[in-house]
Each structure stands twice: as structure tokens, then as C-alpha cells.
């Protein structure tokens, strides 16, 4: 088997590393899946294990996505199709990690991380959308939803300004955005019902 065919396997297992679970145990000793929203992402870790633990989770979840694509680019000599395959596989690994019975995080940080080596301008734009939404409405989940919806658009416009990106980039970006949105379906339900807590609230859910 050629090494290049290992790209999606490597990316999946990198993405599946449950940094939030591990960091929360180091900082607080609790199983993060049993407290707060039960999510292993940075927001729930920060609320239950402290802001330092939350920031570390955010950086490591994003970093594993970046590393998966970076390795794919090296193994494939810069082939964008393999880079996008790695990007999708890493997010799937985070959302459906084999170590946690396929019950993982929501893919926001890892999703942004995979696009850092592919289209950093799009990551900056999506992050700006998140910051603006959270600053005005104080819903972290709403910021993530808006960023996920905006990502395919900003990647399309910023990947190669003046030119349409390759089909693999378009398809991979849409798939990653859909994964993030599906994982936020309960947040969407609570937002519509007026039950979603704002950022900083003790009862906030992830």
C-alpha cells in the first residue's frame, strides 16, 4: 500500500484525539462528558475546568486539524484533493472519535484548524463572523452556526480571488460545514425556543 493512501486514516486518528477530555481530567479530574453540556469542546471545558483549560483545548483541537492537512500536503506533494480528504477525515475524527464510541465534539475548532493551511484568509473571516455574533448577541453557539454557514462562501471567494476554487475544495468545505451544523442541531432548537443561554451564563449549554 502506498503511503499516500494512509492520509485519510492518519487524519482521522489525529482528529479523534479527545484533547478536551484529557485536558479537563488534568485540570479538574472530572469526565467532561458528565458535566455541563457533556461536550468535549473548548466551551464546555472552559466552563467546567477553567479558561486556561478551555484555551488549551481550543488550540490543540485546531492544531490537530492543521497538522492533519499539513501532513497530507507533504505526503501528496501539495495535492489539494488529498489535503481536502485529510481535512474532512480530521473533522469526522473529532466529531465521531472511535475512542469515545463515536460521540465527540462539534467540530468548530478542528474545522477552522484544517483550513489554516488551505485558506487562512477564510479562517480569519469565519472567526470574525463568530466574534461579531458573540459580541452582539452573546450566543457562542449562534456564532459557531453563522461561521459554519459563512465558511463555504468565504472559502469560495478567498481561496483564489477571481477564480473558482477546485471542486474538491468546494465539496469538502460544504461537507465540513454540514457536519458542524448537524452537531449544532440541539443548539438551533434551543435558540428558536428561546432556551439557549447566553455566553457567561451558568446554565449555558455547549
- Classify 13 in phi/psi space as left (phi over 0), alpha (psi -120 to 50) or beta: alpha
Q: Are 115 and 104 in contact (CB under 8 A)?
A: no
Number of helical (H) and strand (E) elements in the chain, helices listed first? 10, 0
Cell (9 digits) for 168: 474538491
Q: E strands within the chain?
A: none
Q: Are 23 and 39 in contact (CB under 8 A)?
A: no
Report the alpha-carbon distance of residue 107 to residue 180 in Å, rounded. 6
What is the percent of the chain where pLDDT is above 90?
84
Between residues 18 and 202, the one the model is more confident about: 18
What's the pLDDT score for residue 198? 82
Q: Identify the CA nearest to 23 among candidates 4, 3, 51, 1.
A: 51
Instruction: Kindly tell me the burial class for residue 105, based on how many C-beta atoms sit within 10 Å of its own C-beta (0-12, 13-18, 19 or more).
Output: buried
What's the pLDDT score for residue 201? 64
- The structure's pTM equals 0.94
Q: Are 123 and 112 in contact (CB under 8 A)?
A: yes
Report the alpha-carbon distance of residue 75 to residue 62 in Å, rounded. 20
Least confident of 19-28, 43-52, 158-167, 181-190: 43-52
Residue 205 has pLDDT above 60, yes or no: no
Report the alpha-carbon distance of residue 90 to residue 146 in Å, rounded. 21
Q: Are 148 and 177 in contact (CB under 8 A)?
A: yes
Report the alpha-carbon distance of residue 112 to residue 177 in Å, rounded. 10
For the chain, the structural domain boundaries read 3-193
Q: If DSSP codes are grouped into helix, strand and coil, which group holds residue 30? A: coil
Question: Mean pLDDT across the stretch 31-58?
Answer: 90
Q: Identify the CA nearest to 118 among candidates 179, 159, 63.
A: 159
Q: How sure is the predictor about 200, in pLDDT bands with cuts at 50, 70 and 90?
A: low
Amino acid at each position: 500500500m502506498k503511503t499516500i493512501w494512509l492520509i485519510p486514516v492518519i487524519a482521522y486518528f489525529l482528529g479523534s484525539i479527545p484533547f478536551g477530555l484529557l485536558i479537563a481530567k488534568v485540570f479538574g479530574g472530572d469526565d467532561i462528558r458528565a458535566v455541563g453540556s457533556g461536550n468535549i469542546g473548548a466551551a464546555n471545558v472552559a466552563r467546567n475546568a477553567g479558561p486556561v483549560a478551555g484555551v488549551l483545548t481550543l488550540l490543540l483541537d485546531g492544531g490537530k486539524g492543521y497538522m492533519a492537512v499539513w501532513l497530507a500536503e507533504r505526503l501528496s506533494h501539495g495535492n489539494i484533493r488529498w489535503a481536502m480528504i485529510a481535512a474532512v477525515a480530521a473533522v469526522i475524527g473529532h466529531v465521531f472519535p472511535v475512542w469515545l464510541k463515536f460521540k465527540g465534539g462539534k467540530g468548530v475548532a478542528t474545522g477552522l484548524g484544517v483550513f489554516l493551511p488551505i485558506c487562512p484568509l477564510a479562517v480569519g473571516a469565519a472567526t470574525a463572523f463568530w466574534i461579531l455574533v458573540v459580541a452582539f448577541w452573546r450566543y457562542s453557539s449562534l456564532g459557531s452556526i453563522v461561521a459554519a454557514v459563512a465558511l463555504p462562501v468565504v472559502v469560495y471567494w478567498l481561496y483564489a480571488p477571481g477564480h473558482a476554487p477546485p471542486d474538491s475544495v468546494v465539496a469538502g468545505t460544504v461537507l465540513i460545514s454540514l457536519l458542524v451544523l448537524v452537531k449544532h442541531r440541539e443548539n438551533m432548537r434551543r435558540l428558536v425556543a428561546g432556551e439557549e443561554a447566553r455566553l457567561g451564563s451558568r446554565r449555558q449549554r455547549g
